[in-house]
Structure 1
Amino acid sequence: MQFNWRKINRVIHRDLGYFFTGMIIIYGLSGIALNHIDDWNPNYIIEVQEKKISLPEHFDENNQASVLAILEQCGVNQDYKNHYSPSPGMIKIFLEKGSSVTVDTATGIANIEIIRKRPVFYEVNFLHYNPGKLWTWFSDIFAFSLMILAITGLFILKGKNGIRGRGAWLSIAGILISIAFLVIYL
Protein backbone atom coordinates (compact mmCIF):
# COMPACT_ATOMS: atom_id res chain seq x y z
CA MET A 1 0.00 0.00 0.00
CA GLN A 2 1.42 3.33 -1.08
CA PHE A 3 1.33 6.42 1.17
CA ASN A 4 -0.62 9.14 -0.66
CA TRP A 5 0.32 12.39 1.06
CA ARG A 6 -1.70 14.51 -1.39
CA LYS A 7 -4.90 12.65 -0.48
CA ILE A 8 -4.19 13.03 3.26
CA ASN A 9 -3.39 16.72 2.68
CA ARG A 10 -6.76 17.24 0.92
CA VAL A 11 -8.65 15.37 3.66
CA ILE A 12 -7.03 17.45 6.43
CA HIS A 13 -7.66 20.69 4.53
CA ARG A 14 -11.26 19.77 3.73
CA ASP A 15 -12.20 18.53 7.21
CA LEU A 16 -10.60 21.42 9.09
CA GLY A 17 -12.32 23.83 6.70
CA TYR A 18 -15.71 22.27 7.32
CA PHE A 19 -15.22 21.99 11.08
CA PHE A 20 -14.09 25.61 11.54
CA THR A 21 -16.59 27.27 9.16
CA GLY A 22 -18.45 28.82 12.10
CA MET A 23 -15.26 30.14 13.67
CA ILE A 24 -14.08 31.61 10.38
CA ILE A 25 -17.37 33.51 10.02
CA ILE A 26 -17.29 34.66 13.69
CA TYR A 27 -13.74 35.97 13.47
CA GLY A 28 -14.28 37.38 9.97
CA LEU A 29 -17.34 39.43 11.01
CA SER A 30 -15.87 40.58 14.31
CA GLY A 31 -12.56 41.39 12.62
CA ILE A 32 -14.30 43.66 10.12
CA ALA A 33 -16.28 45.30 12.92
CA LEU A 34 -13.23 45.86 15.10
CA ASN A 35 -11.20 47.21 12.17
CA HIS A 36 -13.74 50.02 11.90
CA ILE A 37 -14.20 50.74 15.60
CA ASP A 38 -13.35 54.43 15.01
CA ASP A 39 -16.20 54.69 12.49
CA TRP A 40 -18.99 53.02 14.49
CA ASN A 41 -19.71 51.16 17.68
CA PRO A 42 -19.68 47.48 16.68
CA ASN A 43 -21.37 46.32 19.88
CA TYR A 44 -24.16 48.83 20.46
CA ILE A 45 -26.61 51.00 18.58
CA ILE A 46 -26.85 54.30 20.46
CA GLU A 47 -29.79 56.54 19.66
CA VAL A 48 -29.75 60.07 21.06
CA GLN A 49 -32.87 62.22 21.04
CA GLU A 50 -33.68 65.59 22.46
CA LYS A 51 -37.20 66.22 23.67
CA LYS A 52 -38.94 69.18 25.29
CA ILE A 53 -40.93 68.11 28.34
CA SER A 54 -42.92 69.88 31.01
CA LEU A 55 -42.02 68.99 34.55
CA PRO A 56 -44.84 67.62 36.69
CA GLU A 57 -46.56 70.05 39.03
CA HIS A 58 -44.82 70.05 42.46
CA PHE A 59 -41.80 68.39 40.89
CA ASP A 60 -39.37 66.96 43.45
CA GLU A 61 -36.12 65.56 42.11
CA ASN A 62 -35.82 63.32 45.17
CA ASN A 63 -39.23 61.75 44.53
CA GLN A 64 -39.11 58.65 42.33
CA ALA A 65 -42.72 59.19 41.17
CA SER A 66 -41.74 62.63 39.79
CA VAL A 67 -38.82 61.07 37.92
CA LEU A 68 -41.03 58.28 36.53
CA ALA A 69 -43.43 60.97 35.25
CA ILE A 70 -40.53 62.46 33.26
CA LEU A 71 -39.75 59.05 31.74
CA GLU A 72 -43.39 58.67 30.73
CA GLN A 73 -43.29 62.01 28.90
CA CYS A 74 -40.06 60.97 27.17
CA GLY A 75 -41.75 57.80 25.94
CA VAL A 76 -39.02 55.62 27.39
CA ASN A 77 -40.04 51.98 27.87
CA GLN A 78 -36.94 50.73 29.66
CA ASP A 79 -37.03 50.04 33.37
CA TYR A 80 -35.90 52.73 35.79
CA LYS A 81 -32.80 51.88 37.82
CA ASN A 82 -31.75 55.01 39.66
CA HIS A 83 -31.28 58.74 39.37
CA TYR A 84 -29.23 61.57 40.84
CA SER A 85 -28.55 65.26 40.42
CA PRO A 86 -25.01 65.82 39.06
CA SER A 87 -25.44 69.60 39.39
CA PRO A 88 -28.20 72.03 40.38
CA GLY A 89 -30.99 71.97 37.81
CA MET A 90 -29.85 68.70 36.21
CA ILE A 91 -31.17 65.18 36.73
CA LYS A 92 -29.58 62.05 35.32
CA ILE A 93 -31.89 59.03 35.18
CA PHE A 94 -30.34 55.60 34.69
CA LEU A 95 -32.29 52.89 32.91
CA GLU A 96 -31.78 49.18 32.35
CA LYS A 97 -29.29 48.06 29.69
CA GLY A 98 -27.17 51.23 30.01
CA SER A 99 -29.66 53.75 28.63
CA SER A 100 -30.17 57.10 30.34
CA VAL A 101 -32.10 60.35 30.31
CA THR A 102 -30.55 63.68 31.33
CA VAL A 103 -32.98 66.51 32.08
CA ASP A 104 -32.32 70.23 32.44
CA THR A 105 -35.07 71.18 34.89
CA ALA A 106 -34.78 74.88 34.06
CA THR A 107 -35.43 74.48 30.32
CA GLY A 108 -37.32 71.17 30.29
CA ILE A 109 -34.92 69.75 27.69
CA ALA A 110 -34.44 66.00 28.03
CA ASN A 111 -31.57 64.24 26.30
CA ILE A 112 -32.53 60.60 25.83
CA GLU A 113 -29.82 58.03 25.11
CA ILE A 114 -31.15 54.58 24.24
CA ILE A 115 -28.58 51.80 23.98
CA ARG A 116 -29.34 48.50 22.24
CA LYS A 117 -27.09 45.58 21.42
CA ARG A 118 -26.18 45.52 17.74
CA PRO A 119 -27.61 42.22 16.39
CA VAL A 120 -25.05 39.58 15.34
CA PHE A 121 -22.05 41.87 15.83
CA TYR A 122 -22.51 42.04 19.61
CA GLU A 123 -22.45 38.26 19.85
CA VAL A 124 -19.48 37.66 17.52
CA ASN A 125 -17.49 40.45 19.20
CA PHE A 126 -18.28 38.92 22.58
CA LEU A 127 -16.61 35.72 21.42
CA HIS A 128 -13.74 37.63 19.77
CA TYR A 129 -13.00 39.37 23.08
CA ASN A 130 -12.43 35.90 24.59
CA PRO A 131 -15.10 35.32 27.28
CA GLY A 132 -13.51 32.39 29.13
CA LYS A 133 -10.88 29.70 29.51
CA LEU A 134 -12.67 27.04 27.42
CA TRP A 135 -13.13 29.52 24.58
CA THR A 136 -9.43 30.40 24.86
CA TRP A 137 -8.48 26.79 24.30
CA PHE A 138 -10.91 26.39 21.40
CA SER A 139 -9.65 29.66 19.85
CA ASP A 140 -6.03 28.54 20.20
CA ILE A 141 -6.88 25.27 18.45
CA PHE A 142 -8.63 27.29 15.75
CA ALA A 143 -5.60 29.59 15.31
CA PHE A 144 -3.30 26.59 14.99
CA SER A 145 -5.73 25.01 12.54
CA LEU A 146 -5.72 28.18 10.41
CA MET A 147 -1.98 27.73 10.01
CA ILE A 148 -2.54 24.11 9.00
CA LEU A 149 -5.26 25.22 6.56
CA ALA A 150 -2.86 27.74 5.02
CA ILE A 151 -0.08 25.19 4.63
CA THR A 152 -2.28 22.38 3.33
CA GLY A 153 -3.97 24.83 0.95
CA LEU A 154 -0.61 25.43 -0.72
CA PHE A 155 -0.50 21.83 -1.86
CA ILE A 156 -4.09 21.20 -2.97
CA LEU A 157 -3.50 21.89 -6.67
CA LYS A 158 -0.80 20.49 -8.94
CA GLY A 159 0.74 21.95 -12.06
CA LYS A 160 0.66 25.53 -13.34
CA ASN A 161 -2.01 26.63 -10.83
CA GLY A 162 -0.32 24.92 -7.86
CA ILE A 163 2.49 25.97 -5.58
CA ARG A 164 5.08 25.52 -8.34
CA GLY A 165 3.29 27.97 -10.63
CA ARG A 166 0.60 30.58 -10.07
CA GLY A 167 0.17 29.52 -6.41
CA ALA A 168 3.80 30.43 -5.65
CA TRP A 169 3.42 33.92 -7.11
CA LEU A 170 0.18 34.57 -5.23
CA SER A 171 1.69 33.26 -1.97
CA ILE A 172 4.78 35.44 -2.39
CA ALA A 173 2.61 38.49 -3.17
CA GLY A 174 0.50 37.92 -0.04
CA ILE A 175 3.58 37.54 2.15
CA LEU A 176 5.23 40.65 0.66
CA ILE A 177 2.10 42.74 1.18
CA SER A 178 1.98 41.65 4.84
CA ILE A 179 5.67 42.54 5.29
CA ALA A 180 5.09 45.91 3.58
CA PHE A 181 2.34 46.77 6.07
CA LEU A 182 4.61 45.77 8.94
CA VAL A 183 7.29 48.12 7.62
CA ILE A 184 4.77 50.93 7.10
CA TYR A 185 3.11 50.63 10.53
CA LEU A 186 6.11 49.70 12.68
Structure 2
Amino acid sequence: MPKVFRMKWLTNKWIRKWLRILHRDLGYFLVGITIVYSISGIILNHKKQGVDPAYKTVLVQDKFENSLTVDRFAADFGKSYPEYTINKVLPQETGYQLFLKGGVGFYNYQSGELWFEFYKKKPVIFFFNKLHYNQKKFWTTPSDIFAGALIFLAISGLIMVRGKNGFARRGAWFALAGILFVVVYIWL
Protein backbone atom coordinates (compact mmCIF):
# COMPACT_ATOMS: atom_id res chain seq x y z
CA MET A 1 0.00 0.00 0.00
CA PRO A 2 1.40 3.47 -0.85
CA LYS A 3 2.61 5.43 2.16
CA VAL A 4 0.01 8.17 1.57
CA PHE A 5 -2.83 5.77 2.31
CA ARG A 6 -1.22 4.24 5.44
CA MET A 7 -3.05 6.18 8.09
CA LYS A 8 -3.01 4.44 11.44
CA TRP A 9 -6.57 5.40 12.37
CA LEU A 10 -7.87 3.64 9.21
CA THR A 11 -6.67 0.31 10.54
CA ASN A 12 -8.41 0.79 13.90
CA LYS A 13 -11.16 -1.88 14.04
CA TRP A 14 -13.45 0.21 16.22
CA ILE A 15 -13.38 3.17 13.76
CA ARG A 16 -13.88 0.91 10.75
CA LYS A 17 -16.79 -0.86 12.46
CA TRP A 18 -18.58 2.43 13.20
CA LEU A 19 -17.87 3.77 9.72
CA ARG A 20 -19.57 0.69 8.25
CA ILE A 21 -22.55 1.01 10.61
CA LEU A 22 -22.99 4.73 9.92
CA HIS A 23 -22.48 4.27 6.19
CA ARG A 24 -25.07 1.48 6.04
CA ASP A 25 -27.76 3.09 8.23
CA LEU A 26 -27.34 6.59 6.82
CA GLY A 27 -27.49 5.10 3.33
CA TYR A 28 -30.81 3.41 4.16
CA PHE A 29 -32.19 6.62 5.62
CA LEU A 30 -31.22 8.69 2.56
CA VAL A 31 -32.68 6.32 -0.05
CA GLY A 32 -36.04 8.14 -0.22
CA ILE A 33 -34.52 11.60 -0.51
CA THR A 34 -32.04 10.37 -3.12
CA ILE A 35 -34.85 8.89 -5.23
CA VAL A 36 -36.87 12.14 -5.07
CA TYR A 37 -33.84 14.26 -6.05
CA SER A 38 -32.89 11.82 -8.80
CA ILE A 39 -36.36 11.73 -10.37
CA SER A 40 -36.74 15.51 -10.29
CA GLY A 41 -33.22 15.91 -11.65
CA ILE A 42 -34.03 13.64 -14.61
CA ILE A 43 -37.26 15.54 -15.24
CA LEU A 44 -35.47 18.89 -15.12
CA ASN A 45 -32.71 17.60 -17.42
CA HIS A 46 -35.31 16.94 -20.09
CA LYS A 47 -37.06 20.30 -19.89
CA LYS A 48 -38.30 21.54 -23.26
CA GLN A 49 -37.10 25.07 -24.02
CA GLY A 50 -38.43 26.90 -20.99
CA VAL A 51 -41.49 24.69 -20.45
CA ASP A 52 -41.81 23.73 -16.80
CA PRO A 53 -42.36 19.96 -16.58
CA ALA A 54 -44.34 20.41 -13.36
CA TYR A 55 -47.27 21.84 -15.34
CA LYS A 56 -49.53 20.49 -18.05
CA THR A 57 -50.83 22.97 -20.65
CA VAL A 58 -54.51 22.55 -21.55
CA LEU A 59 -55.83 24.31 -24.68
CA VAL A 60 -59.51 25.23 -24.98
CA GLN A 61 -61.14 26.51 -28.20
CA ASP A 62 -64.68 27.85 -28.49
CA LYS A 63 -66.85 30.19 -30.54
CA PHE A 64 -68.73 33.14 -29.08
CA GLU A 65 -70.87 35.81 -30.74
CA ASN A 66 -69.05 38.35 -32.92
CA SER A 67 -68.30 41.90 -31.80
CA LEU A 68 -68.92 41.48 -28.08
CA THR A 69 -67.97 44.39 -25.82
CA VAL A 70 -65.43 43.71 -23.09
CA ASP A 71 -68.12 43.60 -20.39
CA ARG A 72 -70.44 41.35 -22.41
CA PHE A 73 -67.56 39.04 -23.34
CA ALA A 74 -66.46 38.79 -19.69
CA ALA A 75 -70.04 37.98 -18.62
CA ASP A 76 -70.46 35.30 -21.33
CA PHE A 77 -67.04 33.84 -20.56
CA GLY A 78 -67.93 33.66 -16.85
CA LYS A 79 -71.15 31.77 -17.65
CA SER A 80 -69.44 29.35 -20.05
CA TYR A 81 -66.31 28.79 -17.97
CA PRO A 82 -67.08 29.52 -14.31
CA GLU A 83 -63.97 27.63 -13.15
CA TYR A 84 -61.63 30.16 -14.85
CA THR A 85 -61.17 33.72 -13.66
CA ILE A 86 -60.34 36.57 -16.02
CA ASN A 87 -57.80 38.88 -14.38
CA LYS A 88 -57.43 41.34 -17.25
CA VAL A 89 -58.75 41.97 -20.78
CA LEU A 90 -56.61 44.06 -23.15
CA PRO A 91 -58.35 45.31 -26.31
CA GLN A 92 -56.21 44.83 -29.43
CA GLU A 93 -56.69 45.47 -33.14
CA THR A 94 -58.60 42.28 -33.89
CA GLY A 95 -59.81 41.20 -30.46
CA TYR A 96 -59.11 40.95 -26.77
CA GLN A 97 -56.00 39.51 -25.21
CA LEU A 98 -56.99 37.60 -22.07
CA PHE A 99 -55.04 37.12 -18.88
CA LEU A 100 -56.62 34.39 -16.80
CA LYS A 101 -55.75 33.12 -13.38
CA GLY A 102 -53.30 30.38 -14.41
CA GLY A 103 -53.43 31.01 -18.16
CA VAL A 104 -53.76 33.28 -21.20
CA GLY A 105 -56.02 33.51 -24.23
CA PHE A 106 -57.46 35.55 -27.10
CA TYR A 107 -60.97 36.41 -28.31
CA ASN A 108 -61.24 37.51 -31.95
CA TYR A 109 -64.24 39.86 -32.04
CA GLN A 110 -64.48 39.72 -35.84
CA SER A 111 -64.90 35.92 -36.04
CA GLY A 112 -66.05 35.21 -32.47
CA GLU A 113 -63.33 32.59 -32.05
CA LEU A 114 -61.91 32.12 -28.60
CA TRP A 115 -58.90 30.15 -27.48
CA PHE A 116 -57.25 30.04 -24.13
CA GLU A 117 -54.75 27.85 -22.40
CA PHE A 118 -54.27 27.25 -18.74
CA TYR A 119 -51.57 25.53 -16.80
CA LYS A 120 -52.47 22.67 -14.51
CA LYS A 121 -50.03 21.37 -11.88
CA LYS A 122 -48.81 17.80 -12.04
CA PRO A 123 -48.94 17.31 -8.24
CA VAL A 124 -46.12 14.81 -7.63
CA ILE A 125 -43.71 16.34 -10.16
CA PHE A 126 -44.57 19.85 -8.89
CA PHE A 127 -43.68 18.82 -5.32
CA PHE A 128 -40.45 17.06 -6.37
CA ASN A 129 -39.32 20.05 -8.43
CA LYS A 130 -40.21 22.46 -5.64
CA LEU A 131 -37.81 20.57 -3.38
CA HIS A 132 -35.16 20.35 -6.11
CA TYR A 133 -35.37 24.10 -6.79
CA ASN A 134 -35.28 24.65 -2.99
CA GLN A 135 -38.56 26.61 -3.08
CA LYS A 136 -40.17 24.83 -0.15
CA LYS A 137 -40.04 26.89 3.02
CA PHE A 138 -37.28 25.81 5.44
CA TRP A 139 -35.87 23.22 2.98
CA THR A 140 -32.37 24.78 2.76
CA THR A 141 -31.11 23.26 6.01
CA PRO A 142 -32.38 19.71 5.29
CA SER A 143 -30.95 19.87 1.75
CA ASP A 144 -27.57 21.05 3.07
CA ILE A 145 -27.58 18.19 5.60
CA PHE A 146 -28.45 15.78 2.77
CA ALA A 147 -25.54 17.09 0.65
CA GLY A 148 -23.17 16.73 3.62
CA ALA A 149 -24.42 13.19 4.25
CA LEU A 150 -23.76 12.29 0.59
CA ILE A 151 -20.21 13.60 0.97
CA PHE A 152 -19.81 11.44 4.09
CA LEU A 153 -21.16 8.39 2.22
CA ALA A 154 -18.74 8.99 -0.66
CA ILE A 155 -15.71 9.37 1.60
CA SER A 156 -16.61 6.56 4.01
CA GLY A 157 -17.29 4.31 1.02
CA LEU A 158 -13.76 4.96 -0.22
CA ILE A 159 -12.09 3.73 2.94
CA MET A 160 -14.40 0.86 3.94
CA VAL A 161 -13.15 -1.68 1.42
CA ARG A 162 -9.63 -2.99 1.93
CA GLY A 163 -7.29 -5.16 -0.07
CA LYS A 164 -6.89 -5.41 -3.83
CA ASN A 165 -10.40 -3.95 -4.45
CA GLY A 166 -9.94 -1.12 -1.94
CA PHE A 167 -9.40 2.53 -2.66
CA ALA A 168 -5.61 2.33 -2.32
CA ARG A 169 -5.41 0.05 -5.36
CA ARG A 170 -8.40 -0.37 -7.63
CA GLY A 171 -10.74 2.26 -6.14
CA ALA A 172 -8.39 5.19 -6.74
CA TRP A 173 -8.44 4.48 -10.49
CA PHE A 174 -12.22 4.42 -10.64
CA ALA A 175 -12.45 7.62 -8.56
CA LEU A 176 -9.94 9.29 -10.89
CA ALA A 177 -11.94 8.08 -13.92
CA GLY A 178 -15.10 9.61 -12.42
CA ILE A 179 -13.38 12.97 -11.90
CA LEU A 180 -11.89 12.89 -15.41
CA PHE A 181 -15.30 12.05 -16.89
CA VAL A 182 -16.76 15.25 -15.41
CA VAL A 183 -13.76 17.39 -16.40
CA VAL A 184 -13.70 16.08 -19.99
CA TYR A 185 -17.48 16.47 -20.33
CA ILE A 186 -17.28 20.11 -19.18
CA TRP A 187 -14.64 20.90 -21.82
CA LEU A 188 -16.55 19.30 -24.70
Instruction: Give the deviation of 1:7 after TM superposition.
Output: 1.4
| Residue aligning to 2:31 | 21
| Residue aligning to 1:154 | 158
1:121 aligns with 2:125: yes
Name the CA shift for 1:52/1:139 in 2 (closer, same or farther; >3 Å). Answer: closer
- Matched to 2:36, the amino acid is I
| Residue aligning to 1:61 | 70
Which runs of structure 1 show a deviation greater than 4 angstroms over 4 or more consecutive aligned residues?
A: none
Instruction: Give the deviation of 1:162 after TM superposition.
Output: 2.6
C-alpha separation in 2, matches of 1:44 and 1:23: 22
Instruction: Give the deviation of 1:136 after TM superposition.
Output: 0.9
Alignment of 1:1-186 (within 5 A): 3-38=13-48, 40-49=51-60, 51-55=61-65, 59-63=68-72, 64-69=74-79, 72=80, 76=81, 78-96=83-101, 98-131=102-135, 134-184=138-188
SS in 1 for 2:97: strand
**1:51-107: per-residue Cα shift (whole Å, max 9, x none)?**
351317x833223323324xx2xxx563324341341432234444x1233211112
Name the CA shift for 1:66/1:38 in 2 (closer, same or farther; >3 Å). Answer: closer
With normalisation by structure 2, the TM-score equals 0.78
C-alpha separation in 2, matches of 1:94 and 1:165: 63
Q: Percent identity?
A: 36
**1:143-166: per-residue Cα shift (whole Å, max 9, x none)?**
111111111111333333332344
With normalisation by structure 1, the TM-score equals 0.78
C-alpha separation in 2, matches of 1:143 and 1:35: 19
RMSD: 2.6
Deviates more, 1:34-43 or 1:139-148: 34-43
C-alpha separation in 2, matches of 1:29 and 1:143: 16
C-alpha separation in 2, matches of 1:169 and 1:37: 34
- Structure 1 unaligned segments of length 5 or more: list them: none
- Structure 2 unaligned segments of length 5 or more: list them: 1-11
Higher helix proportion: 2
Asked if the contact 1:91–1:103 (Cα under 8 Å) also holds between the matched residues in 2, the reply is yes
C-alpha separation in 2, matches of 1:134 and 1:83: 34
| Residue aligning to 2:9 | none
Give aligned pairs, total: 175
Name the CA shift for 1:61/1:125 in 2 (closer, same or farther; >3 Å). Answer: same
- Matched to 1:109, the amino acid is E
Deviates more, 1:140-149 or 1:12-21: 12-21
C-alpha separation in 1, matches of 2:91 and 2:16: 69
Instruction: Give the deviation of 1:24 after TM superposition.
Output: 1.1
C-alpha separation in 2, matches of 1:30 and 1:166: 33
